[in-house]
Structure formats: structure tokens, C-alpha cells
């Protein structure tokens, strides 16, 4: 993108601010993993840029042991209250991950206390992706029929390139 995605503004607010506000509506404690793009409590990764699992471990270490963790990447601006509420209120001992667009949506998911405990060992064995963590724990998959009533059709579109950002802004201006 040429600059941090967290600082991209949509409707006068950064994507980081939008994600923070969404999570605050549902979670008693919200932590930014990063340099402090929001007014949230924040923590830096031990190895910035080494992959999402490192960020997960850093954020997880800030939370009480034994509690689940809701992970939301800031570059998914269409995730809304319904989907986050469904993840927060889901009654499962397993990690809960939506499935959409042919893949697990690991950056908008609920991770179990067990997954949080396993994460450092997965990291030490060379895993860097959230998928590598999920390969080592029990997962409940939310299929489209499970999450679609709670969310917009484009909820899992993430904005990774200038072209994706422009397409997103164009779609918003048409609706």
C-alpha cells in the first residue's frame, strides 16, 4: 500500500479506529498490536512483520489466561456488529472461524483459550500463520449460512492493495 493500512481513512476515520470502535462495543478489553495507531492499550510484536501469529502471541499475552480472544484485522472494513457479536457470544470451547470465499477467515475469528496456550509452541516450531495454529487445535467452522445473517456480503474482503482499496471505495460510492 505504501503506508500502514491501519492509517487509511474511510469516511474520516482510519481503519484502525473503525476496528477499535467495533471491538469496543463487544469486548471488555481491546488491545491493538502495533505502534499505537489508536487510543487503545497497545503492545508491539517481538518480531514485527514476522507474520500474524507473532502479533496474536503479543496480544494474547496481555489478556487473562483462560479467556478466548477475538482477532480482527483492521483491513476488513465491512465486518460489522452482527458478525463480531456472533463470535463473541458463540458458546464453544473450540476456536470459531468463519469460512467464506473458499477459505478460513483466520483474521476475523474467535480463538479459544487452548489455542492461545498452543500459539507459542507453534511459533517455536516455525509456524507464522494463523492457519498453522489452527492446524494444531480444535476448530468449529462457521459456514456461510451461519454468519451471513449477521454480516454484509463483502465482510471478508480485506484491502491489501491500492487497487482493492479503490474498488472498495468505488463500491461504497455506488451504494
Is residue 45 predicted with pLDDT exceeding 80? yes
Q: Is 121 exposed, middle or buried (0-12, 13-18, 19+ CB in 10 A)?
A: exposed
Q: What percent of the chain has pLDDT over 90?
A: 58
pTM reported for the whole predicted model: 0.90
High-pLDDT (> 70) share of the chain, %: 94
Closest among 91, 90, 95 to 115, alpha carbons compared: 95
> Is the pLDDT reported for residue 149 higher than 80?
no
Q: Is the pLDDT of residue 147 over 80?
A: no
Amino acid at each position: 500500500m505504501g503506508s500502514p493500512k491501519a492509517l487509511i481513512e474511510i469516511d474520516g476515520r482510519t481503519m484502525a479506529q473503525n476496528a477499535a470502535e467495533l471491538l469496543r462495543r463487544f469486548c471488555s478489553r481491546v488491545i491493538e498490536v502495533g505502534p499505537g495507531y489508536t487510543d487503545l492499550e497497545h503492545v508491539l510484536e517481538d518480531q514485527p512483520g514476522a507474520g500474524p501469529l507473532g502479533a496474536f502471541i503479543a496480544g494474547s499475552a496481555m489478556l487473562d489466561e483462560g479467556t478466548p480472544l477475538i482477532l480482527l484485522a483492521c483491513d476488513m472494513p465491512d465486518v460489522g456488529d452482527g458478525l463480531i457479536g456472533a463470535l463473541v457470544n458463540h458458546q464453544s470451547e473450540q476456536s470459531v472461524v468463519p469460512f467464506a470465499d473458499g477459505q478460513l477467515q483466520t483474521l476475523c475469528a474467535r480463538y479459544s483459550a487452548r489455542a492461545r496456550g498452543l500459539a507459542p509452541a507453534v511459533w517455536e516450531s516455525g509456524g507464522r500463520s494463523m492457519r498453522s495454529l489452527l492446524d494444531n487445535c480444535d476448530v468449529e467452522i462457521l459456514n456461510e449460512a451461519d454468519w451471513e445473517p449477521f454480516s454484509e456480503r463483502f465482510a471478508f474482503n480485506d484491502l491489501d492493495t491500492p487497487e482493492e482499496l479503490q474498488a472498495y471505495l468505488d463500491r461504497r460510492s455506488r451504494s
